[in-house]
Amino acid sequence: MATTATPDDTLPEATGNKARLARVYAEALLAAATKSQLADTVGEELASVADGILKPNPGIVAFFNSAAVGRNAKLPILEQAFKDVGASELFKKFLGVLNQNNRLGLLRDISATYHTLRDMQGNRVRVKVRTASELNDAQIDSLRSTLATTLNQEPMLQITVDPELLGGLVVQIGDRVYDTSVKSRLETLRTHLMTSGSHVL
């Protein structure tokens, strides 16, 4: 199934001071990356670390967040981790800044905020789509075209297959959900019949 790759977005939104700090760092990184024409590259590097390393390894997150481990102890581990992976100098310097300020624990929040800002910069919107069966390329292109016309933005599709829907699809854009699935229509019909005093379903 052809889909547009997107960073993981299962991370709950940061709030309060944590959210403000994440936005400050994300905005600074995006400004520097845009100036260096590395905005997409840095975004991929952030997503790779946040989703490929930190999400499945809570021990690393705990290590980054630990006040008992000084920045001098964390620095060589960071340098070794990115020594041979071809990370951009900008990204490695950014990690050094986070370490210097004891903010490595914000990396996943910074990544989520960075991609939100990058989407706004590029007039893009992330769209979650659940379908009863796998869509072919033509169907995906048609869906993307329809959404682009409706939203006046470039949709970044994240498509998953959910056989329980029976048919149709569910589209989620931020907090908005558009449910055209067969399952939803059956549940609506069932509710209507029960309210009317019929127990056919």
Quote the pLDDT of residue 14. Answer: 61
Return the domain boundaries, the chain: 16-119, 125-195
Quote the pLDDT of residue 196. Answer: 66
Helical packing angle, 39-49 and 16-35, nearest 10°: 140
Q: Domain 16-119 class?
A: mainly alpha
Q: 3, 158 in Cβ contact below 8 A?
A: yes
Question: Looking at the chain, which runs of residues are DSSP E strands?
Answer: 124-131, 154-161, 169-173, 176-179
DSSP letters for 76-118: HHHHHHTSSS---HHHHHHHHHHHHTT-GGGHHHHHHHHHHHH
Quote the pLDDT of residue 116. Answer: 92
* Residue 124, SS3 per DSSP: strand
SS3 content of the chain, % helix, strand, coil (to 5): 60, 10, 30
Q: Is the dihedral of CA 67, 69, 74, 75 positive or negative?
A: positive
Q: 119, 173 in Cβ contact below 8 A?
A: no
Q: Which residues of the chain have pLDDT under 70?
A: 1-15, 83-85, 196-201
d(CA 141, CA 146): 9
Q: Does pTM surpass 0.85?
A: no
